[in-house]
Structure 1
Amino acid sequence: MYIYKQKKWPKFFWDADVISAILGEVRHKQGRIIGQMQALGFRVQEETMLKALTMDVIKSSEIEGELLNPEQVRSSIARRLGIEIAGAVAAERDVEGIVEMMLDATQQYKAPLTAERLFDWHAALFPTGRSGMYKIKTAAWRDDLMQVTSGPMGKETVHFEAPSAEKIPGEMKFFLNWMEQEQELDPVLKAGVAHLWFVTIHPFEDGNGRITRAITDMQLARADKSPQRFYSMSTQIQEERNKYYDILESTQRGSLDITSWFKWFLDCLMRSMEQTDEIINKTLARAAFWETQRATEFNARQQKILQLLLDDFFGNLNVSRYAKINKTSTDTALRDLQDLIKKDVLEQQGNGRSTSYRLR
């Protein structure tokens, strides 16, 4: 029996003794992060938030098998938040849509969550009214059966079957009323309940996972009482994707006791906040680099590459890769790289075809 078929649905309960200890650690970590960021100054806060939001958007889509261009995501977020960055690029419609949704969820966290707001998010996710090759119903509740399956066509394994379409309006009205009610429930726990509850209803034809994580981010912003996001839960969920789906499936097939779900959710949240230390260290390293090089002149192509090298550049940088990233000729790329070596910023590794470059 699925969880929503329980007689007392959705009256969730849990073992408070088990959960309170984990919740206390999470709350302590949240306070520590906010205090640490306030001590580091505005520019570092800005850079750390940009990084966390960029990863949140990228990883939330990656969980669904959609790979977004990181530069487009970063540029779109920076432009909307008024943050100046080197090497900004134009973003495609699908990128702009999910960025718009995520920023509305976090920057406007105090605004009520309504059906119209969710429809706006859904329309932003699917600006063409299509999911891949298929036309879908957008900005409206689904009107058909919804199953989560895996496996080859004709031999699918059904992991979950959501409530029937005719129940969606009533289910969502109850959920949205609960979201805006004052309760004697810690806001972080409310984020965990909201995540499980919404993804179980699965009210849209597509995009339910991304909207679930946007709702979670919004509620976590309410818990922090701040639009500034310095950690990304979607990034951690992507890293634990198999465990995430396993705990969802077992919880949705279980009773209304969601102690196990809460344990996973809070532990995942804690691990996502532990990544903030790494983000801060990278941000400080970037700030130190640009401060050291403040008198050095770089062209736009060089600035773009240096920003990538200081952030999350995977693999080796060579002439052809430099040219491809900057959409320029290999001759121009080689001149730029040699200039960076002269400026004592890069150093060459290897020779011939194996030649690559790295920060000195």
Structure 2
Amino acid sequence: MYIHQLKEWPDFQWNSEQVGMLLAEVRYRQGRLLGQMEGLGFRLKEEATLQTLTMDVLKSSEIEGEILNPDQVRSSIARRLGMDVAGLVPSDRNVEGVVEMMLDATQQYTLPLADERLFGWHASLFPTGRSGMHKIVVGAWRDNAKNDPMQVVSGAMGRTKVHFQAPDADILDKEMSQFLDWFNTEDKLDPVLKAAIAHLWFVTIHPFDDGNGRITRAITDMQLSRADGSRQRFYSMSAQIRIERKNYYDILERTQKDTLDITAWLDWFLTCLNRAITATDDTLAAVIRKARFWENPAAQSINERQRLMLNKLLDGFHGKLTSSKWATIAKCSQDTAIRDIQDLIERGLLVKEAAGGRSTSYVLNA
């Protein structure tokens, strides 16, 4: 029996004392982070938000096994938020759809969540009406028959394991109405706890043919934005869930097959969120390093190709940067790439790597 089949569903219970201690620690870290960010300038906060939202979109998709292009995701977010960012690239339709959903959730977090809004998110995720090779119901609740239940399974044909079975399609209107009424109603429940419960509740209803995980995490981010009272995002729950993906699926399965006492789920969610907030220290360090780099007088009056490539190095360039890679990425000739690089070396912004080899490579002058 799954929790949604219990007579008391969805009357969730938990150990308030145990959960309260964890919640207090999360709220303390959350408050300290937001306080730190207030002390930074507008550009730094803007860059931190761009980094966090980019990570959120990438990692939420990765949890489902879908790898998106980081440059496309970053460019799509920057364009939609009206940020003045160098080196923007065109984005694929699937990237634009995921970004559209995430930004609607986090930038319009004060608006109510409704059927039509969720249908819009779902349509954004599946603009062709297909998931892989399969045609799916888009922009509506799933309509699978009782003899073809919505199940979460693993393994190959003939040796599959059923981890979870969602409520029947014919009760989805009732289930979602109850969820949305609760989600949109202000109550005394701490908004961070509400994010944890909303996550479990929505993913248990599993109302769509596909995309339930990504929409669940968008709803979670929407509620965490409400908890922060801010459109700016400085920590990524999805990035931390990606790191802890196996534990995430394990606790979900155990909770969905247990009683309506969800203390263990809340414990895991709050601990994961705590680690997500702590991990922000690395993101902020990178953002501050980047800002200080661009404040350097030597970084002024450079061309767009140079700005593009320096940003790639600051964001963590994969592999060795050579003049031929520069020419390919910046879409210029090899001679132009060499001139760009030499100019940055003379400005003290780039240096040749000490290691020799057949191709000379370059790194930032730390």
Instruction: State TM-score, norm by structure 1.
Output: 0.96
- Cα shift at 1:330: 4.1
> Superposed, which structure 2 residues align to 1:196-207 within 5 Å?
196-207=200-211
Q: Which residue of 1 aligns with 2:343?
A: 339
- Cα shift at 1:22: 0.5
Aligned residue among 195, 201, 216 for 2:199: 195
- Cα shift at 1:72: 1.1
SS at match of 2:152: strand
Q: Which residue of 2 aligns with 1:132?
A: 132
Aligned residue among 342, 346, 356 for 2:361: 356
Aligned residue among 214, 218, 236 for 2:218: 214
What does the per-residue CA deviation read over 1:207-262, in whole Å, with 9 as the maximum and x for residues that have no partner? 10000000000011111111111111001010111111111111111111111100
- Cα shift at 1:159: 1.1
**Counterpart amino acid of residue 362 in structure 2:** Y
Distance 1:181 1:152 in 2: 43
- Cα shift at 1:172: 0.6
Q: Which residue of 2 aligns with 1:161?
A: 165
- Cα shift at 1:313: 2.3
Distance 1:180 1:352 in 2: 61
Q: Which residue of 1 aligns with 2:274?
A: 270
SS at match of 1:84: coil
Kindly indicate whether the alpha-carbon contact (under 8 Å) linking 2:299 and 2:349 is maintained by their aligned counterparts in 1.
no
Residue identity over aligned pairs, in percent, reads 61
- Cα shift at 1:327: 3.9
Q: Which residue of 2 aligns with 1:118?
A: 118
What does the per-residue CA deviation read over 1:21-60, in whole Å, with 9 as the maximum and x for residues that have no partner? 1100111111111111111121111111111111001111
Structure 1: which 5+ runs fail to align? none
Q: Which residue of 2 aligns with 1:86?
A: 86
**Counterpart amino acid of residue 204 in structure 2:** T
- Cα shift at 1:320: 3.7
**Counterpart amino acid of residue 356 in structure 1:** S
Q: Which residue of 1 aligns with 2:154?
A: 150
Q: Which residue of 2 aligns with 1:26?
A: 26
Instruction: State TM-score, norm by structure 2.
Output: 0.95
Q: Which residue of 1 aligns with 2:103?
A: 103
Distance 2:331 2:67 in 1: 21
Q: Which residue of 2 aligns with 1:304?
A: 308
Instruction: Report the number of matched residues.
Output: 360
Q: Which residue of 2 aligns with 1:11?
A: 11
Q: Which residue of 2 aligns with 1:286?
A: 290
- Cα shift at 1:202: 0.5
Distance 2:195 2:298 in 1: 43
Aligned residue among 219, 223, 228 for 2:227: 223
Distance 1:273 1:193 in 2: 19
Kindly indicate whether the alpha-carbon contact (under 8 Å) linking 2:322 and 2:361 is maintained by their aligned counterparts in 1.
yes
Distance 2:134 2:336 in 1: 42
Kindly indicate whether the alpha-carbon contact (under 8 Å) linking 2:293 and 2:299 is maintained by their aligned counterparts in 1.
no
Aligned residue among 313, 316, 319 for 2:320: 316
Distance 1:164 1:44 in 2: 47
SS at match of 1:158: strand
Q: Which residue of 1 aligns with 2:186?
A: 182
Aligned residue among 240, 247, 254 for 1:250: 254
Q: Which residue of 2 aligns with 1:45?
A: 45
